[in-house]
């Protein structure tokens, strides 16, 4: 029995992981893809990181929910749709069962007691800061899923988050109101009494909540992570997460919130416990959907073991030369500058390793990040004819050193010191006084193809 079980496990592992998805037919590809995604999700959940970040977001949500709703309430009041907040909040808390109405009324009561006009400049600034801190925490959680270690710049965070706070609620409630208005028109009411339109309208009414949730999740996956997310990947993740969220809410309401055991055990704290559980499940589902979107977009990283984007010294040096070449090429030929998303598409890499190399070049004073552009772009600081390739490589090799740990603090061993000096001399002999401009001008001797207007030297493609 044990041997048969081991053989079955080995066969399943080979079936799921040995074959290339591109070589399978449509049915096999779908089955293998689903099994791989389930494996990846189970591994991430058992790893505990998604759980920890979901719990962290629960804590942040409890602290920020009243300020967020207060700001949204103030904005929506100007558009005359502030009365839409309560039913939307009630629908979100509906899986809590009878407790949803009580929690909704209490939260709305807190929001109405927040008088933005009497807070003063300092109080209003703290209110905005609390809201931005929540969005920053959400972005950090999504960046972890997408293996992006850096947040947006301060100016980007302020402008993008402010747009979400001010414009997002207006668009959401306008869409909800427009849908309700259309469904209540006389024409719609007449069609309700005509078959099969009546049945179609009834089914549509049941599917609209799923559609709106899936659409909302898709937009979150596109705009929140600090990287370029493809629409197809975000839509698949949003669809799965939206259906899972609605289904989980129904199960939660049926089997958990309606149970009398929680009230018997926790007494008056039962409402709070149920609220915490529901918030945790909601954030966890949202992060799981983002994880699915990540693997849909990056199929090559769907492996048996988790992929960590760690650059070796050799890869870091080569990637730095490629980045500097692309920047120098565009600058010399008066072409549009490169953004981080452009680099990731051209180099076919995730954004994080590329951003690490860009940060090294920015810290070295060779590149400057122009944040006034949207998205930010990178330009050379100095004339590329004065930037030596040996200096670029030296900066890359010394990346990470500081005053606490550097080359001068290592003990002197004459044999090793002579070898290191010989290696450095070899660099100088090979590169000599070649500059970045010399590297850019080498394209005259090598074939160059154009893909989406971006240069693709044959030397980089190899």
* Judgement on whether residues 59 and 21 belong to the same structural domain of the protein: no
In sequence order, the 6+-apart residues with CB closer than 8 A to the CB of 141 are 53, 54, 56, 57, 283, 287
User: For residue 233, which of 321, 350, 136, 135 has the smallest C-alpha distance?
Assistant: 350
| Domain assignment of residue 399, yes or no | yes
At residue 450 the predicted structure's pLDDT band, cuts being 50, 70 and 90, is very low
pLDDT of 104 reads 78
* Judgement on whether residues 264 and 374 belong to the same structural domain of the protein: no
pLDDT of 128 reads 73
Tokens 């799921």 -> residue: 16
Q: If you count them, how many residues does the chain have?
A: 462
At residue 451 the predicted structure's pLDDT band, cuts being 50, 70 and 90, is very low
| Domain assignment of residue 6, yes or no | no
Q: pLDDT by residue (tens digit) across 383-417?
A: 888 888 888 888 888 887 777 777 777 788 888 88
| Domain boundary, last residue among 271, 301, 331 | 301
* Judgement on whether residues 151 and 241 belong to the same structural domain of the protein: yes
| Domain assignment of residue 4, yes or no | no
* Judgement on whether residues 230 and 99 belong to the same structural domain of the protein: yes
Pairing of strands 367-370, 338-339: unpaired
| Domain assignment of residue 375, yes or no | yes
Check whether 324 has a pLDDT greater than 80: yes
- The residue among 235 and 16 whose pLDDT is bigger is 235
pLDDT of 121 reads 66
* Judgement on whether residues 208 and 81 belong to the same structural domain of the protein: yes
Do 209 and 92 touch, CB atoms closer than 8 A?
A: no
At residue 296 the predicted structure's pLDDT band, cuts being 50, 70 and 90, is confident
* Judgement on whether residues 294 and 158 belong to the same structural domain of the protein: yes
* Judgement on whether residues 285 and 376 belong to the same structural domain of the protein: no
Check whether 457 has a pLDDT greater than 50: no
Rg (CA), the chain: 28
* Judgement on whether residues 145 and 166 belong to the same structural domain of the protein: yes
Check whether 182 has a pLDDT greater than 60: no
Region of 364 please: left (phi>0), alpha (psi -120 to 50) or beta. Answer: alpha
* Judgement on whether residues 249 and 352 belong to the same structural domain of the protein: no
pLDDT of 192 reads 59
56 Cα distance to chain centroid = 17
| Domain boundary, last residue among 268, 301, 334 | 301
* Judgement on whether residues 256 and 279 belong to the same structural domain of the protein: yes
* Judgement on whether residues 198 and 219 belong to the same structural domain of the protein: yes
Check whether 359 has a pLDDT greater than 50: yes
Mean pLDDT, residues 270-275 taken together = 77
Mean per-residue pLDDT of the chain: 75
Helix, strand, coil abundance in the chain, percent, nearest 5 = 75, 5, 20
Look up residue 246 and give its DSSP letter: H
> What predicted TM-score, i.e. pTM, was given to this entire model?
0.68
- Domain enclosing residue 206, as ranges: 48-301
pLDDT of 327 reads 92
Q: How many domains does the chain have?
A: 3
What's the CA gap between 108 and 125, in Å, rounded?
21
| Domain assignment of residue 306, yes or no | no
Do 187 and 179 touch, CB atoms closer than 8 A?
A: no
Check whether 137 has a pLDDT greater than 70: yes
Q: pLDDT by residue (tens digit) across 412-449?
A: 888 888 888 888 788 778 777 888 888 888 765 444 44
Check whether 51 has a pLDDT greater than 70: yes
pLDDT of 325 reads 93
| Domain assignment of residue 2, yes or no | no
Residue 317 is part of a domain; what is its CATH number? 1.10.10.10
CA-CA-CA-CA torsion sign (251, 252, 258, 263):
positive
pLDDT of 424 reads 79
What's the CA gap between 58 and 138, in Å, rounded?
10
Tokens 């749709």 -> residue: 81
At residue 91 the predicted structure's pLDDT band, cuts being 50, 70 and 90, is confident
At residue 454 the predicted structure's pLDDT band, cuts being 50, 70 and 90, is very low
| Domain boundary, last residue among 257, 276, 301 | 301
What's the CA gap between 263 and 257, in Å, rounded?
10
* Judgement on whether residues 16 and 159 belong to the same structural domain of the protein: no
| Domain assignment of residue 3, yes or no | no
Tokens 């933005």 -> residue: 116
Do 130 and 63 touch, CB atoms closer than 8 A?
A: yes
What's the CA gap between 328 and 324, in Å, rounded?
6
| Domain assignment of residue 1, yes or no | no
What's the CA gap between 199 and 193, in Å, rounded?
9
The tokens describing 304, both together, are 């048996």
At 367, phi and psi to the nearest 5?
A: -125, 160
Say what percent of the chain tops pLDDT 90: 6
């Amino acid at each position: 029995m044990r041997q048969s079980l081991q053989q079955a496990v080995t066969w399943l592992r080979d079936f799921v992981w040995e074959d290339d998805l591109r070589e399978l037919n449509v049915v096999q590809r779908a089955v293998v893809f689903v099994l791989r995604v389930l494996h990846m999700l189970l591994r991430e959940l058992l790893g505990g990181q998604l759980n920890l970040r979901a719990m962290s977001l629960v804590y942040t949500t409890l602290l920020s929910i009243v300020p967020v709703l207060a700001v949204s309430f103030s904005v929506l009041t100007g558009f005359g749709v502030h009365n839409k907040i309560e039913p939307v909040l009630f629908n979100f808390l509906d899986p809590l069962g009878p407790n949803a109405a009580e929690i909704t009324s209490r939260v709305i009561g807190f929001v109405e007691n927040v008088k933005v006009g009497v807070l003063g400049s300092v109080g209003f600034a703290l209110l905005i800061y609390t809201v931005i801190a929540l969005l920053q925490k959400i972005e950090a959680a999504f960046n972890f899923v997408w293996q992006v270690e850096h947040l947006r710049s301060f100016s980007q965070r302020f402008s993008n988050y402010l747009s979400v706070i001010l414009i997002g609620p207006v668009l959401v409630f306008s869409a909800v109101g427009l849908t309700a208005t259309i469904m209540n028109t006389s024409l719609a009411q007449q069609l309700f009494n005509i078959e099969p339109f009546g049945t179609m309208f009834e089914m549509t009414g049941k599917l609209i909540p799923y559609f709106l949730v899936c659409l909302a999740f898709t937009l979150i996956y596109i705009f929140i992570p600090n990287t370029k997310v493809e629409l197809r990947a975000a839509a698949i993740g949003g669809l799965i997460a939206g259906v899972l969220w609605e289904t989980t809410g129904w199960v939660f309401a049926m089997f958990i919130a309606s149970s009398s055991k929680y009230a018997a055990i926790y007494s008056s704290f039962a409402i709070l416990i149920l609220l915490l559980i529901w918030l945790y499940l909601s954030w966890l589902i949202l992060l799981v959907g983002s994880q699915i979107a990540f693997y849909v977009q990056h199929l090559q990283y769907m492996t048996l073991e988790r992929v960590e984007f760690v650059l070796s010294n050799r890869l870091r040096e080569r990637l730095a030369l490629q980045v500097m070449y692309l920047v120098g090429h565009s600058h010399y030929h008066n072409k549009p500058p490169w953004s981080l998303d452009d680099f990731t598409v051209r180099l076919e890499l995730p954004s994080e390793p590329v951003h690490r190399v860009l940060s090294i070049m920015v810290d070295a004073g060779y590149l400057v990040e122009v944040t006034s552009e949207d998205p930010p772009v990178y330009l050379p600081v100095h004339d590329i004819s004065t930037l030596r390739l040996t200096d670029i490589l030296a900066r890359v090799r010394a990346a990470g050193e500081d005053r606490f740990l550097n080359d001068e603090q290592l003990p002197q061993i004459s044999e090793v010191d002579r070898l290191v000096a010989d290696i450095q001399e070899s660099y100088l002999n090979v590169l000599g006084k070649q500059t970045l401009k010399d590297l850019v001008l080498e394209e005259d001797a090598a074939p160059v193809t154009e893909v989406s207007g971006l240069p693709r030297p044959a030397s980089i493609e190899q």
